[in-house]
Amino acid sequence: MKQVRKEFGGHAVVKSMDLTVASGEKLVIIGPSGSGKTTILRLIMTLETPDNGYIEIDGELLGCAWDSGRITKNNNKNLRAVRSKVGMVFQHFNLFPHMSVLDNIMEAPTRSLRMSKEEARERAIGLLQRIDMVGKASSYPGQLSGGQQQRVAIARALAMRPSVMLFDEVTSALDPEKVGEILQTIRELAAEVNMAMVIVTHEMGFARNIADRVIFMDHGEIVESGPPDEVLGAPVHPRTTAFLKAILDR
Amino acid sequence: MSIDWDWAYVFEILPELLRATLITIRISLLGFAVALVAGLLIAMARMNRNWVISQPALFFVEFVRLTPLLVQLFFAFYVLPVLGVSLPAEPTGVVVIGLHYATYASEVFRSGIRAVATGQWEASIALSLPTFAVWRRVILPQAIRPMIPALGNYLIQMFKDVPLLSTITVYELLGTANLIAGSSFRYLETLTLVGLIFLLLSYPSSLLIRYLEIRLEKS
Ligand SMILES: Nc1ncnc2c1ncn2[C@@H]1O[C@H](COP(=O)(O)OP(=O)(O)O)[C@@H](O)[C@H]1O
Ligand SMILES: [Mg+2]
């Protein structure tokens, strides 16, 4: 991500952001609400288009193309291909309510990757085993608890085998006692899969445990970036210190 | 005043009227199919971000709504052939009444589609689903269920508008009844039967729609 800028109504929400995530790296983004964390994930997921700058995934430009040294906008042809390397898990799950758990997970492999039904089903069942929900394959999202729905949403995103997964405060819509199970699922994935993760969270223990690197953001800018022990344990910037203190006091 | 009601005559013309009723039903169903398909296309066009697509759709909707259906029927049947487009009476009627109701259906589609949570669009994008699959697999299945009562009401309304097609020589129920009564001069029985047939078909349909409405509200 290079010099990426995003404005809403003239207000710069993300200001000239440079950010590189190594393959397999687990990056945690923290910061006060409104600092632009969600917007960064949405830019990477192509749910928003940058006003300036560009984003590359595995060396390929997202939604635009190089044209004699310049960036041209709206290259829809490569958009879907590059986009499919990114997966996202949302705060509010966004499962398809009219499809069973199994169909939710099979949908993208069959429609986006044009995989055969049998192969997609096999992959989906494998994922359900990993999140320990094979028994719920034919249930509908409405019949599941929030924690179960979020696990299905994670499995659904994983079914595309993305090279980077984005998690946007995936536990903040859950009951406190369900938070642990989701974080455990993500932790297991992080250990198992060689897949980059960009995680926005307010769970500092989890952040410290999973992160290779932590970024603290404020007002659309990176204030501090480094290994979790430094950023979370011994922050140098006063704004980081203030934020961490506010979180602990909550 | 005594009413001179002839039962024998009623049973004599009933088969003919029932046959014509089938034509009315056929026109309603075909017209409704046109309304659904065209209505969906209009709704999608109007929701397109590109004004070259959305503006003509809006213009079409306004044009159809601000002119009477009867004028549209006359225009399609008597003027279009002069311009080199000619279809038999019944298909002309089906297309015109279908497109007329398509503009109403398009509004139902539009509000139904807008009512689908934005998170569903975002999840579809995040899963790289092709546009066609997003519509067919994710958005429409969720949008259509709440739209069923409103669309059903338009079907009944359209069914009641089919007699207008008698003015362009389509022998649906009213046209046939007029023909019969014109030679027997027994308007009383003939038109009473027409009214009863419409009532007998519309009333249960509207009850069914109300039932669906209540069931949808509960779920
Ligand atoms: N679609 C949008 N339209 C207008 N403003 C938006 C939009 N999305 C986000 N914003 C604004 O951008 C700022 C950053 O939002 P966000 O990225 O969601 O922050 P965070 O996730 O860190 O809480 C907020 O002030 C928010 O109100
Ligand atoms: Mg946010």
pLDDT at B145 over 70: yes
Using CA atoms of A68, A71, A74, A78 in order, give the dihedral in degrees to the nearest 10: 70
Distance CA(B71)–CA(B67), nearest Å, equals: 7
pLDDT score for A67: 52
Distance CA(A152)–CA(A200), nearest Å, equals: 19
Helix, strand, coil share (%) of chain A residues, nearest 5: 40, 25, 35
Token representation of residue B51: 């004004």
Question: Does B142 sit within 8 Å of A97, measured CB to CB?
Answer: yes
Could you tell me if B126 lies within 8 Å of chain A, comparing CB atoms?
A: yes
State the average pLDDT for chain B: 93
pTM: 0.83
pLDDT at B25 over 80: yes
Q: Which residues pair with A226 in a beta bridge?
A: A214
Residues listed for chain B: 219
State if residue A201 touches ligand 1 by the CB under 6 angstroms criterion: no
Q: For the residues A165-179, what does the mean pLDDT come to?
A: 90
pLDDT score for B213: 85
Site to probe by mutation for ligand 1, drawn from A11, A14, A39, A91 as the one with most ligand atoms within 8 Å of Cβ, is: A39
pLDDT at A78 over 80: no
* Distant-in-sequence, close-in-space partners of B59: CB < 8 Å, separation ≥ 6: none
The full set of domains in chain B, from first to last, is 19-173 (1.10.3720.10)
Distances (CA, A) of B30 to A87, A205, B64, B70, B101: 44, 63, 19, 19, 12
Give me the interface pTM, i.e. the ipTM: 0.90
Which range scores top for mean pLDDT: A16-30, B2-16, B57-71?
Answer: B57-71
pLDDT score for A6: 73
State the average pLDDT for chain A: 88
State if residue A36 touches ligand 1 by the CB under 6 angstroms criterion: yes
pLDDT score for A75: 57
Q: Give the pLDDT band of residue A65 (cuts 50, 70, 90).
A: low
pLDDT at A153 over 90: yes
Q: Is there a contact between A14 and A40 (Cβ–Cβ < 8 Å)? A: yes
For the segment B81-116, what is each residue's pLDDT rounded down to a tens digit?
Answer: 898 888 899 999 999 999 999 999 999 999 999 999
Distances (CA, A) of B23 to A62, A117, A222, B19: 56, 43, 71, 7
Could you tell me if A156 lies within 8 Å of chain B, comparing CB atoms?
A: yes
